[in-house]
């Protein structure tokens, strides 16, 4: 399909980024005081909030697992998060993203530590501009750590893709619309274990390898920003200058 020019004559991308450059990323932990854990992520023009509850007893009881707990996720896009008002409520896409996100965290969370209980993750996309599943996973991971949910490692997510024949990371909206491939990936930065890998479009085997390497490297950088957000949250708490020193009010 004929699209717009995504790599400029100076070799930079349509928004001026280098191939391996992320959009600006800001993460804040512990932003909601009713939830057990929370995080807010601004990533380019994406704005995403994640809230975590639990572990708390699984209802209904037949869904309880005796040897381990459950991880549930609801990803939701606000009606005002996209250019045309989105019809509220779940759609096929948000059901799919909720499912793959829960599956990613099922592997990262130490569910064996809380049998018969469930951790609920809520991801609310306030503004969307491509990459919201990755922003949601990145936020949810910080919210889980903020809630004190035991995990093997943080989970960081970022998409790679192909635009004008070139492999790049952190696909923006125009790149998503007019590019040739989009490959969101979530990993545990410490081990590099892949928890989510999806792909739209076309890549050669070589390009796929390069895209995965670049996404992996980007996720490791994102992991550093996540750890900084958590360090900041706990240093605020120990100074006694935080809002209330924690979200777990009962």
Residues engaged in binding ligand ADP (CB under 6 A): 82, 86, 93, 128-133, 173, 176, 182, 184
| Unique residue bearing structure tokens 């605020």 | 236
Name residue 184's beta-bridge partners: 159
Nearer to ligand ADP, 70 or 98 (CB): 98
Closest distance of CB 82 from ligand ADP, Å: 3
Nearer to ligand ADP, 69 or 184 (CB): 184
Closest distance of CB 57 from ligand ADP, Å: 32
The CB density around residue 226, as the number of other CB atoms within 10 Å, is: 24
Give the whole-angstrom CA distance, residue 75 versus residue 245: 27
Nearer to ligand ADP, 57 or 96 (CB): 96
CA distances 18 to 6, 91, 181, 217, 218, Å, are 12, 34, 17, 14, 13
Pair type for strands 200-201 and 156-163 = unpaired
Closest distance of CB 46 from ligand ADP, Å: 7
Give the whole-angstrom CA distance, residue 145 versus residue 30: 10
Nearer to ligand ADP, 70 or 81 (CB): 81
Give the whole-angstrom CA distance, residue 135 versus residue 139: 6
Closest distance of CB 148 from ligand ADP, Å: 27
Closest distance of CB 232 from ligand ADP, Å: 26
Give the whole-angstrom CA distance, residue 148 versus residue 209: 35
Closest distance of CB 13 from ligand ADP, Å: 16
Give the whole-angstrom CA distance, residue 31 versus residue 237: 13
CB 81 within 8 A of CB 122: no
Nearer to ligand ADP, 128 or 188 (CB): 128
Nearer to ligand ADP, 147 or 171 (CB): 171
Give the whole-angstrom CA distance, residue 198 versus residue 159: 9
């Amino acid at each position: 399909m004929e699209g717009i020019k995504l790599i400029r004559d100076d070799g930079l991308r349509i928004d001026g980024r280098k191939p391996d450059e992320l959009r600006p990323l800001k993460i804040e932990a512990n932003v909601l005081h009713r939830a057990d854990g929370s995080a807010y992520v601004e990533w380019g023009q994406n704005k995403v909030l994640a809230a975590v509850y639990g572990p708390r007893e699984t209802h209904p009881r037949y869904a309880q697992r005796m040897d381990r707990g459950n991880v549930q996720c609801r990803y939701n896009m606000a009606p005002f998060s996209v250019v045309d008002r989105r019809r509220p409520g779940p759609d096929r896409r948000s059901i799919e993203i909720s499912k793959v996100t829960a599956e990613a965290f099922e592997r990262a969370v130490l569910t064996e530590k809380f049998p018969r209980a469930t951790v609920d993750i809520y991801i609310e996309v306030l503004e969307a501009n491509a990459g919201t599943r990755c922003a949601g996973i990145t936020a949810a991971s910080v919210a889980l750590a903020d809630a004190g949910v035991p995990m093997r490692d943080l989970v960081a997510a970022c998409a790679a893709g192909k635009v004008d024949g070139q492999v790049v990371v952190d696909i923006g909206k125009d790149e998503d619309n007019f590019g040739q491939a989009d490959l969101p990936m979530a990993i545990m930065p410490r081990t590099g274990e892949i928890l989510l890998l999806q792909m739209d479009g076309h890549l050669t085997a070589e390009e796929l390898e390069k895209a995965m390497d670049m996404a992996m490297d980007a996720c490791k950088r994102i992991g550093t920003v996540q750890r900084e957000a958590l360090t900041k949250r706990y240093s605020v708490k120990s100074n006694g200058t935080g809002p209330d020193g924690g979200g777990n009010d009962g």
